[in-house]
Every structure is written in C-alpha cells, then in structure tokens.
Amino acid sequence: MKLTFPYMGSTIIYQKLLQLLDHEVIMPPRPTQRTINLGVKYSPEFACFPYKVLLGSYIESLELGADTIITSGGHGPCRAGLYSEIHLKTLRNLGYHVDMIVFDDIYHYPKLFLERLRMIKNHKSFLQLIRAIYTSYQLAHAIDSLQKFMEIKQAYELEQGAFAKAFEIMRQKFAKAANTVKDVQCLQREGEMLFSSIPVHEPPESQKVRIGIVGEIYVVIESSINTGIAALLNKLGCEVTRSLYVSEWVDHALPRFIKKSDTAIIKNSKKYMEMGIGGHEIHNIGHMIHYKEQGFDGIVHLMPFACLPELITQSLIPKISIDLDMPILTLAIDEQSGAANTLTRLEAFVDLVRNHKLQKAG
C-alpha cells in the first residue's frame, strides 16, 4: 500500500503521522499550475475550486506511484463531504487503480471509523497509534504557531525573505527530526529563537496595519492556491492573522468532548446568520466581529469561485462592513487567479485601509 493524502497546509504533519506508523508514503507535490489544469480538465465546470485542485493533486500523486488515498469524508450540507465519492469515481473512470480510505464522521459511522483506524494503524499497537497521532497533532500546533508569528513579523523584516528562509529551515528540521512530542517542543523553541533573532523594524503602533483573513478553509490555509496572500500582504507592510490554521481545522474535526471550543466567537455571528450552512461561514462572521474587537484595520475574505456558503457570506459583507465600520475585501479564487492580479487588488485595498485608519484617527 503506497499512501498519499490531500495537499493542504504543512503536509509534513500527515507525512509524519503515516511514517510513524511505518507506512510507505508518497508525498503529494506542492500544487502548481499543472496540478490546477489537470484538476480543471477532469472536473465539472461548477465543482468547487478546492475539489478541482485536490483532483489534480491526486492525479500527480498517483503518477508518482501512490495507490491509496487517505482523506476525510463528511455528510453535508456542503459539497466537501462528497469530494471523496466523486473523486474516486472520476479517478477510476480515468483508469487509475486506486483505493480510498475515507474517514467519515465517527458519530455517523462509528464502526467504519474504527475499521479505517485499524487499517492505518498498520502493525502498530493502539498505544503507538495514539502516540503517533498525538505527536503529529503537537507538530501541527508547533508549525502553526511559528507561522502565525511569521505572518505578523514578516511585515517588518529588514532583509526581504529572511523569515521565509528561516521557516523553510525549520520545516526541514521538523520533517527530519520531530519524532516525539519532546522533539517537537525542542524544535519549536529553536524556531522561536531563530525567528526572534531576525532583524525587524517595527513602526509605531499608530502606523501598524493589521489585516485579518477569513474564508473557505482550503483557500485560507493553502498558500499555493491563494497566491500566497499572507506573504503578499506582509510585503505591503501589513500584519496578517488568519481565521484558520491546519491545527485548528484538526481541532474542529475532533469529537465534541475533547474539542477546544470557539463557541464565543461563533455566537457573535448569530446576528447575521442564524445557523451554520455548511462551510465556515458562522466561524468567519464571528471572526470578522472578533477582529474588529481586537482593533484590526481591515479584513480579506477569501472564497473559491462559486462557493455556495461563501456566496451567502459575500452577500452579507456590505452590511457587516458598515456595521463594523471596517473595510472588507472579498477575493474569489479560481484557476485564473494570478499573483500579479491579486497584488494589484491588495495594493488598492491596503491604501484604502490606511486612509480609513487615518481618517478615524484624525
């Protein structure tokens, strides 16, 4: 069994988990234009953009020799829960001999869930499985915490690319040496020290611009398809905070009793949306309000083109923007989004945000 998995965020987390369980792992390559083109070619025109990218990514992993895909399932109301079904149908129809191990909701299909767990457990004991999961979980949090740090301080780096370089060094170290929770903790500290040693020039508080990013999970997390939006904003001198990181996505997927809750944030969204409608909309709206409370200056809302729940969110945004007195930019991401185009729109937006801030101050 040669396993591969969906490309999302820092893939070394999943790689680590599977390697700790002695699986042979085929790493999905970072999505490129080719990946996207492949996905688009074999997807329905109005499939979600993440669906298309993942399909392209699976094809590339299969080309590298993978024969089994591990992924998550779900049961609606949005389309993501059906990705695996349609992906598998499509891939087999294209002639690939491929299996999928789909982790569906433990509540809906408890037996199936355990069966799947047994499959990926390999010859290891359950204790070892739990240890491996826990280690990867900590790894996810460690990497995300470094990334959060970076997306704020990178705005002020004196030498361009210094943070990116340091992050890459750390990523490789994590991939190689983070095999226990202790390793992870050591490396995280090392990373923090490395980051703190990078020279920055921070402007006075009144001139700092803080941008919050919200949106559909895949385009928020995956920098290879959101044209590296956090880095672009950093380059324009803005601090960036995202509403979602991989580790938090894992937190969401956890069974309810161990889940860290952000009910307080979600509760705020009630005024605009009575119930969750399938994506991360109530989370997103809650975060918009939360950003306001924390004194952010602007919000970027990322959505895959024609995303169902985010279109509803987009419809609400003019009202939210007025209520919060906060500039909000919606960017639709699809196969044609290029960095140059995004940069132009971001530049204009950041100007607007700065003016808005000045006006409020004056």
Task: Report the interface residues with ligand SF4, using CB under 6 A.
Answer: 48, 50, 78-80, 216, 278-279, 304, 307-310
The binder of 316, among ligand SF4, other proteins, none, by C-beta within 5 to 8 A per type, is other proteins
Please check whether residue 163 is in contact with residue 157, taking contact to mean a CB–CB distance below 8 angstroms: yes
| Shortest distance (Å) from residue 73 CB to ligand SF4 | 12
The binder of 180, among ligand SF4, other proteins, none, by C-beta within 5 to 8 A per type, is none
Closer residue to other proteins (CB): 187 or 320? 320
Tokens at 142, concatenated? 């460690």
The binder of 50, among other proteins, ligand SF4, none, by C-beta within 5 to 8 A per type, is ligand SF4
Closer residue to other proteins (CB): 55 or 238? 55
Closer residue to other proteins (CB): 120 or 332? 332
The binder of 46, among other proteins, ligand SF4, none, by C-beta within 5 to 8 A per type, is other proteins
**Apex 262 CA angle, 145 and 354, nearest 5:** 65
| Shortest distance (Å) from residue 311 CB to ligand SF4 | 8
Question: Which region, left, alpha or beta, applies to residue 76 given φ > 0 means left and ψ of -120 to 50 means alpha?
Answer: left
Helix pair angle (83-93, 49-63), 10° resolution: 50
Q: Whole-angstrom Cα distance, residue 149 to residue 311? A: 31
Closer residue to other proteins (CB): 34 or 75? 75
| Shortest distance (Å) from residue 34 CB to other proteins | 22
The binder of 228, among other proteins, ligand SF4, none, by C-beta within 5 to 8 A per type, is none
Cis peptide before 77 (omega within 30 of 0): yes
CA distances from 188 to 14, 153, 192, 247 (A): 18, 17, 6, 15
| Shortest distance (Å) from residue 50 CB to other proteins | 12
The binder of 311, among ligand SF4, other proteins, none, by C-beta within 5 to 8 A per type, is other proteins
The label of the residue with tokens 């998550």 reads 72
State the sign of the Cα–Cα–Cα–Cα dihedral 104, 221, 33, 7. negative
The binder of 119, among other proteins, ligand SF4, none, by C-beta within 5 to 8 A per type, is none
| Shortest distance (Å) from residue 165 CB to ligand SF4 | 32
Nearest one of 347, 305, 333, 341 to 31, comparing CA atoms: 333
| Shortest distance (Å) from residue 269 CB to other proteins | 10
The binder of 29, among ligand SF4, other proteins, none, by C-beta within 5 to 8 A per type, is none
The label of the residue with tokens 């025109």 reads 45
The binder of 80, among other proteins, ligand SF4, none, by C-beta within 5 to 8 A per type, is ligand SF4
Q: Whole-angstrom Cα distance, residue 55 to residue 41? A: 10
Closer residue to ligand SF4 (CB): 39 or 279? 279
| Shortest distance (Å) from residue 218 CB to other proteins | 15
| Shortest distance (Å) from residue 320 CB to other proteins | 8
Question: Which region, left, alpha or beta, applies to residue 122 given φ > 0 means left and ψ of -120 to 50 means alpha?
Answer: left
Please check whether residue 57 is in contact with residue 31, taking contact to mean a CB–CB distance below 8 angstroms: yes
SS3 41: helix
Binding site for other proteins (CB under 8 A): 43-48, 73, 75-79, 81-82, 85-86, 89-90, 93, 272-275, 277-279, 281, 305-309, 311-312, 314-316, 318-320, 332
Closer residue to ligand SF4 (CB): 218 or 349? 218
Contacts for 140 with CB less than 8 Å, ≥ 6 apart: 10, 13, 246, 247, 250
| Shortest distance (Å) from residue 250 CB to ligand SF4 | 17
Closer residue to other proteins (CB): 160 or 315? 315
The label of the residue with tokens 């470094």 reads 146
| Nearest residue relative to ligand SF4 (C-beta) | 48
Please check whether residue 39 is in contact with residue 55, taking contact to mean a CB–CB distance below 8 angstroms: yes
